[in-house]
Structure 1
Amino acid sequence: MANDTLMQAFEWYLPDDGNHWNKISEMAQELAELGITKMWLPPAFKGTKSSDVGYGVYDMFDLGEFNQKGTVRTKYGFKEDYLNLINVLKNNGISPIADVVLNHKASADATEAVEVVEVDPTDRTKVLSEPFEIEGWTYFNFPGRNKIYNDFEWHWYHFTGTDFDARTGKSGIYQIQGENKGWAQGDLVDKENGNFDYLMYADIDFKHPEVIKNIYEWAHWFVDTTGIEGFRLDAVKHIDAFFMNNFIRDIKDRYSQDFYVFGEYWNAELDDNVHYLDNIHYRFDLIDTRLHMNLYEASQQGESYDLRRIFDDTLVKNFPDSAVTFVENHDTQRGQALQSTIEEWFKPAAYASILLRESGLPCVFYGDYVGIEGEFSQMSFKEDLDKLLVLRKECAYGEQVDYFDQANCIGWTRLNEEGSPLAVLISNAGDATKRMFVGEKWSHQTFYDAMGRYEDRIIIDDEGWADFPVAAGSLSVWIAEE
């Protein structure tokens, strides 16, 4: 069975030219040939303006079709471009995954009088005021769409909180009052800041029956309209896990158990990740935030980092069937809220650590693949990533044997039975060698460094072993020459 590989097909600073859906369509065949099998697409829904990356969601039923918020298209293009891209991906054997932003709504059409209490931003369970009235941006009726596809209107009682009082011009975190209101139960959202139900904008109340009904209506319309084959769920640590468990259960029951879903649970504590997985009955996977942070720390600390710890406390080590592994994403790139950008010297090694191992679904970041321009520029790693993707597609199979026996040099082999085995080495200090086994059937065979760091060849000994080298602060991947 071929390895699955995911690509995140966007980064934060893409140009606001409406051409991205078409650009990815043009890349699809090449990416498929490299082994990309799933494509995480950015949010396709109308946001606060044409340049919105997609997380300031205004209208989930507008995929770049209606003149709303000063634009018909989204940042990435028009509805017909999006639908065409999905078909192109499928025709190339790539499963399209939609970024779904359910936590909040932004850029309301009008204000409403709302009774609230102000809460402490550092502890949202702590109330700072008596109930009082604000003018909140909580009324959504989508006049540009004019009730096409769905006639639901959103009011203050469909939300749990907001962050701005238009009457006074004051910002804060305002918890909406009323019957059955309040944050999600503390056990069902992340416990950061006391209760991290509220994140931004108008925070959706997933306990309200009208909200639940509308989200299901939207999901059925969206999947039926687009033919999308999976969801990436944004900000799940802020969304009631009881709702999310039921929602994904029902989506999979309606469409397919193969409808692939993974969630952004931005929390590096293994216990918290496991608690969330328990809450959702392991119905979908989570990004491996701890692994990303380990890779980031390794890139920052250089030779003082003990590479033997690189997988400590990670999902991929402890719950491999639930882990989406990644090196970088749109939140961790330079200039973003969760900036934790892996240093360039270590990035190829970091990608080898997700692409050439047996566990987890690895995700390649578009910004690392094509590069990032502008104030927060990052270099392209396309040449190395193309090599690693081909190695994953063709060689990264079979038993994995780890050689994590040195603080500054780790290695592993993949004892592929159908083709060449792999011998992978990572150094974060000086030149190093490591004696590793690739199989007796490869005795006297010549191996070369597929990454091109070494020109010399290695000969496997009579018993299937060799001393494989790696250059200082580098990565080498050795495979059979024939």
Structure 2
Amino acid sequence: MQGFEWHVPADQGHWRRLRKSIPDLKDIGVDNIWIPPGCKGMDPCGIGYDIYDLYDLGEFDQKGTIATRWGSKKDLQELVRAAEDVNIGIYWDTVLNQKAGADSTENFMAVRVDPEDRNTELSPPEMIAGWVAFDFPGRGEKYSKMKYHWQHFTGVDWDESKQSYAIYKTSGHNKDWAKDVSDERGNYDYLMFANIDHSHPEVRADIFKWGEWIGTEIPIRGMRIDAAKHYSASFQKDFVAHLRNTVGADYYLVGEYWRGEVNLLLKYLKMMDYEISLFDVPLLGRFAAISRMAGGDLRKIFRGTLVEKMPNHAVTFVGNHDTQIGQSLETVIAPFFKPLAYSLILLRSQGHPCIFYGDLYGIRGGPEPQAGSSCNRKLHILTRARKLFAHGEQRDYFNRRNCIGEYWVMSTVIVTGLIHSTGFVRYGNYQHPFGLACIMSNGGSSYKRMYVGSKHTGELWTDIMEWRCETVVINSCGYGIFPVDAMSVSVWVNSLATGRHDLNRPL
């Protein structure tokens, strides 16, 4: 689960909120929590991507506060211990592309570049005053003696001497944008604030040291690599290798490489020697497009996605803090489609699904706040269904444009359903024998005749989403006829299983 959304209160209490939620999250099947950037930012209310000091986790009086927006270092450590106690891992949001909130300016030579083509220089080298001096006076030399100065950066976007906003590329020996970054805008190395030069040996040494240090301060199990397309892939590869060698070979890493073309994601994974996973941005785009398209073809929902091409490296998701309304990567999925999308990532075997704090608990602010779950308060039901019933092998039958079904069975026989609907079969296992049948429609109401196994003969199956109130009887041949409402999803399981597990109990 992504454990935050953009509008979580800036009350320095979020680490405590998450700690209190740990029992509920364990109950619904959350295995790992991606927490927000916990290093000191330049703004006490900043969400953490305005990174100031990697080594300040809410311990030092810097930038007007000791605690970060999320809480103190002590609160953070207590959260991680509470998660560890119930075997929930913590993934750190790692921001290594930029620094913000410098302590003072320095004069250095730089050239202005075209914001739309950063390879095009618009001026000869000129002296500018950039905010690039990071002395960390509140921390001093505890944990690290490294201080950052102009030579440790490749660019800024503000000249204090002229009070001028532009993208300035640092001039000097071996100073240039990294070449192994996204080719958007010519070269998308520069994103914001003071852009770190990852080729500088002092920078490399300090970041590698920090990668080891953070794991000693808090026992995290992995990292999200922020803005992966904006800095050197070769540096990231070396950083990941360093973590594997020093922290552990099973350290989980997922990159935020925000491109909608799956071939670019595959190229990046190859450059990284397939040592990390990526968020499946193309799949999110498919969800958004089909949700807004009348009669969109559900059979093609996974075409051109990372989970289709390389499922073991795909982190599937339905939304995150950047895709919220009003944010930089705003991606609108029609409300009716959110439960369908979550069913497709949670109730299938491919990919590593990630649910969103804002979809589970609601959005607290912004243009369109919502008090509760964006899935009509049903997301926790789907996560419990994944934990309890979504096990075993799977076989797909996507053969109807607007109605696809999923059926998960404890059986060794696969039988195709009626021609008017599509679906896929997945088998249960010894520990989870009940199975489930899921059917969804982005058009009119429909049904599917599904084979769920002769050993289920005579069982009564009910919709755990409670959007269909009837009971389906499994016939003597192991079939049931499972209905679904228009623009909806229904998840059917043995009624004895629903009574045993109380899937609808609230968080």
Identity, in percent, stands at: 42
Deviations 1:311-364 (A, max 9, x none): 111111110000001001000011111111322211111111111010111111
Partner of 1:152: 146
Determine if the alignment matches structure 1 residue 216 to structure 2 residue 230: no
| Letter matched to residue 348 of structure 2 | R
Q: Does 1:286 align with 2:300?
A: no
1:349 partnered with 2:340 = yes
- 1:344 corresponds to which letter in structure 2? P
TM-score, length-scaled by structure 2: 0.91
Whether 1:459 aligns to 2:453 is: no
**Which amino acid is 2:442 matched to?**
N
Matches within 5 A, 1:291-310: 291-301=283-293, 303-310=294-301
CA distance in 1, matches of 2:315, 2:69: 26
Aligned to 1:475: 489
Report the counterpart of residue 166 of structure 2 in structure 1: 172
Q: Which letter does structure 1 place at the counterpart of 2:445?
A: D
1:196 alignment counterpart: 188
Q: Distance in 1 between matches of 2:405 and 2:372?
A: 25
1:280 alignment partner AA: M
2:311 alignment partner in structure 1: 320
CA contact (8 A) 1:402 1:412 kept: yes
304-313 vs 232-241, which deviates more? 304-313
Q: Where does 1:372-451 land on structure 2 (aligned, <5 Å)? A: 372-376=363-367, 377-381=369-373, 383-414=377-408, 415-418=427-430, 419-451=433-465
How far did residue 219 of structure 1 move?
1.4
Q: Distance in 2 between matches of 1:160 and 1:446?
A: 65
Judge conservation of contact 2:35–2:91 (CA < 8 Å) in 1: yes
Task: Specify the alignment match of 1:266 in structure 2.
Answer: 258
Aligned residue number for residue 97 of structure 2 = 103
CA deviation map 1:71-109 (0-9, x unaligned): 111110001000110111000110011101001000111
Residue ranges of structure 2 left out of the alignment (5+ in a row): 409-426, 497-507
* Residue identity opposite 2:314 in structure 1: A
Partner residue in 1 for 2:267:
275
CA contact (8 A) 1:400 1:412 kept: no
Shift of 1:467: 2.3
> What stretches of structure 1 of length at least 5 have no aligned partner?
1-6
Deviation for aligned residue 1:406 = 1.4
Check if 1:83 corresponds to 2:83: no
Residue 456 of structure 1: CA displacement? Answer: 0.6
Preserved CA contact (<8 Å) 1:368 1:379? no
- Confirm or deny: 8 A CA contact 1:368 1:378 kept in the other structure: no
Of the structure 1 ranges 322-331 and 190-199, higher mean CA displacement relative to structure 2 is found in 190-199
- The letter of the residue matching 1:464 is G
Task: Verify the 8 A CA contact 1:402 1:413 in the aligned structure 2.
Answer: no
SS for the counterpart of 1:304 is: coil
CA contact (8 A) 1:432 1:470 kept: yes
Matched residue, 1:129: 123
Deviation of the 1:124 alpha carbon: 1.0
Q: CA deviation at 1:379?
A: 4.6
In structure 1, C-alpha distance between the alignment counterparts of 2:251 and 2:321, rounded to whole Å = 24
Contact kept, 8 Å, 1:403 with 1:436, in 2: the verdict is no
2: CA distance, partners of 1:341 / 1:75: 27
Letter in 2 for 1:417: N
1:238-257 equivalences in 2 (<5 Å): 238-257=230-249
SS of the residue 1:97 aligns to: strand
Q: Please say which of residues 76-85 and 340-349 is displaced more in the overlay.
A: 340-349
* 1:415-436 superposed Cα distances (whole Å, 9 cap, x missing partner): 2133211211111111011222
Query: Is the contact made by 1:125 and 1:195 (CA closer than 8 Å) also made in structure 2?
Result: yes
Distance in 1 separating the partners of 2:238 and 2:478: 51
Q: What per-residue deviation string (whole Å, max 9, x for no partner) do you get for residues 124-180 of structure 1?
A: 111111111111111101111122211111011111111111111111111111111
Q: Is the 8 A contact 2:7 2:366 kept in 1?
A: no
Distance 1:63 1:401 in 2: 46
Q: Which residue of 1 aligns with 2:34?
A: 40
* Distance apart, 1:229 and its partner CA: 1.4
Q: Which moved more, 1:218-227 or 1:377-386?
A: 377-386
d(CA) in 2 for partners of 1:42 and 1:198? 22
CA distance in 1, matches of 2:451, 2:392: 13
**Separation of aligned partners in 1, 2:24 and 2:494:** 25
AA partner of residue 225 (structure 1):
E
- Which consecutive aligned stretches of 4+ in structure 1 deviate over 3 angstroms post-superposition? none
Give the secondary-structure state (helix, strand or coil) at the position aligned to 1:448.
strand
- Please tell me whether the aligned partners of residues 189 and 196 of structure 1 are also in contact (alpha carbons under 8 angstroms): yes
What does residue range 115-126 of structure 1 map to in structure 2 within 5 Å?
115-126=109-120
Aligned length: 473
Tell me the amino acid that sits aligned with residue 459 of structure 1. V
**Structure 2: distance between partners of 1:402 and 1:434:** 14
CA distance in 1, matches of 2:290, 2:325: 17
Partner Cα separation in structure 2 for residue 388 and residue 242 of structure 1: 39
Take 1:206 and 1:307, find their aligned partners in 2: how far apart are those partners? 43
Structure 1 range deviating more: 440-449 or 468-477: 440-449
Q: How far is 1:402 from its partner?
A: 2.1
**What amino acid maps onto 1:223 in structure 2?**
G
Question: Matches of residues 11-50 of structure 1 in structure 2 within 5 Å?
Answer: 11-50=5-44
Q: Which residue of 2 aligns with 1:230?
A: 222
Contact preservation (8 Å) 1:324, 1:360? yes
Corresponding residue number in structure 2 for 1:61: 55
What is the rounded CA distance, in whole Å, between the counterparts of 2:238 and 2:476 in structure 1? 57
The answer to whether 1:330 aligns with 2:344 is no
Paired with 1:90 and 1:144, the residues of 2 have a C-alpha distance of 31
Deviations 1:274-307 (A, max 9, x none): 0000000010100000111111112222x33111
CA RMSD, Structure 1 to Structure 2 (Å): 1.2
**How much does 1:193 deviate?**
0.8
Q: Secondary structure at the match of 1:273?
A: helix
SS in 1 for 2:358: helix
TM-score, normalized by length of structure 1? 0.96
Q: Tell me how far apart the structure 1 counterparts of residues 478 and 67 of structure 2 sit (CA, whole Å).
A: 58
